[in-house]
Structures are given as C-alpha cells and as structure tokens.
Amino acid sequence: MRKKIVAGNWKMNTTLQEGIKLASEVESLSTQVPSDVTLIVCVPFTHLTEVKKVINRTLLGAENCASEVSGAYTGEVSAAMVASTGANYVIIGHSERRSYFNETDETLAKKVKLALANQLTPIFCIGELLSEREANIHFDVVKKQLQKGLFDLSAEDFGKIVIAYEPVWAIGTGRTATSEQAQEMHYFIRNTIAEKYGKEVAKEISILYGGSCNDKNAAELFANPDVDGGLIGGASLKAESFIAIARSF
C-alpha cells in the first residue's frame, strides 16, 4: 500500500526561533494524526539541525539541495549535507525554483540522483502554468517534466520517489484545483508512470497535491483515489491548520 503523506513546505518563512516553536507545536499535535499518515516538515537549511531535535513522530525534509556533489559552489548545500542533519526528504523542482532560479529539467535530474545516492527521498514537484492549462497543453507539460526529470531512473530508484503535482496557478493564490482537476491529473501521472515502469511500480508511488490546500478543502481532495496527500505551503505555517489537514484522510 502506498503511503499517505502530508508535507509542509515552509518556503522562506520563520526565523530559526520561530521555526523551532512551529516544529515543536506540530510535534505535540502530531499525536492526533492517524499513524498511517506520514507527517513531514520541509524547512529552510538553517533550521534543519535544530528542528530535528524537537521532532520525533514528525519527519524532516529540506526544500532544495545542490546539483553537484561538493566543492567550489559558494552558497550551495549538498544532498550529503542535508542527509547529515538527519533529514529524510528533500523537495526538488518546486515551481518557485524552476521559475525564479532557472532550474532546468537537466539540473533537477542531477539533484534527484544525488538525493537518492544520499538516502534522501525526493519530493519531486511538477505542474503547469495557467497559460499552459488555458492552451490545453497541461498534460503534455506534466508528462515532459516527469520524463526529463525522472524517467532515466531505474525502476528500483523510481519506486523511492514521491511526486507532488502543484499547478502553478494554484500556488499561493487561494485558487485550489477542483477535486476533479486534481484527480484527473493524478490519474494521468500514475498512468504515465505505469506506461514507463509498469502498473506495480505506479501503484506504489505516492502522488501529493499542492496549491492552496487547506483544512477546508483537504478532505475533498484527499478522498480521490489517486490523491495520496498534500504538499502544503501557507497552511503549514500554523500547527493547527497543518495538523487539521493531516487528519483529513
């Protein structure tokens, strides 16, 4: 059975002290979350080590990692460094990294391989722009992101990935994808994976929805057969709303 996952993406929010407080609150409320739900907080690099100390039931992730192993890359943080903090997950290919920091499919494919080589589970983000949905090319866009970012992995490695479908027009806009739009795309993603790696692999991959997911709409989104949880931005910055989302299955 594939995992149900609710992951917070804190983005560039909270000071270290605020982050420790938020993580502690999430951890203390995590007893309310059913044990079959994996709860993850993905936090800024500066917070990883300290947040790790205040969580136990909650798992830890980073929001990014470098596309190179080590060396003269000032300001970068490698997958090995992330793993050495005790983190188990790393978000790769968030649309904000693709658009503001010009991360290409080729760069992201390198990051995925380095994450896996360091025993980190990539939470790999894909999703179309509003203009691409309006032009009715959203399925092609998402398929290409999957192919270029992930499809040269072996079936064994692919089986370790978590996918997050985040339509860019829904991120931070308050405009959530409808339950039908989410299910339709998640089904398409699972089918595309099945064509490449077979039905057994596709069946086991967790596909999360992200984009203005909150404690009001999570239950309807998560009730879909191919929606295995959420990647949560704004609503993960308050412990109560984040935990309420994780209780929505």
Q: Which residues are tagged catalytic?
A: 94, 166
Nearest residue (CB) to ligand 13P, 67 versus 176: 176
3-state helix, strand, coil in the chain (%, to 5): 45, 15, 35
Nearest residue (CB) to ligand 13P, 207 versus 213: 213
Residue labelled with tokens 């560039």: 12
Q: Quick one: which of 38, 121, 183, 212 contacts ligand 13P (CB under 6 A)?
A: 212
**x/- letters, 118..137, toward ligand 13P (CB under 6 A):** --------------------
Q: Does 233 bind ligand 13P (CB under 6 A)?
A: yes
Q: Which of residues 55-94 bind ligand 13P (CB under 6 A)?
A: 94
**x/- letters, 192..211, toward ligand 13P (CB under 6 A):** ------------------xx
Q: Does 166 bind ligand 13P (CB under 6 A)?
A: yes
| Residues whose CB is less than 8 angstroms from the CB of residue 55 and which lie 6 or more positions away in sequence, other chains included | 23, 24, 26, 27, 41
Q: Does 97 bind ligand 13P (CB under 6 A)?
A: no
* DSSP-derived secondary structure for 129-172: -HHHHHTT-HHHHHHHHHHHHHTTS-HHHHTT-EEEE--GGGTT
* Spatial separation of the C-alpha atoms in residues 76 and 6, rounded to whole Å: 27
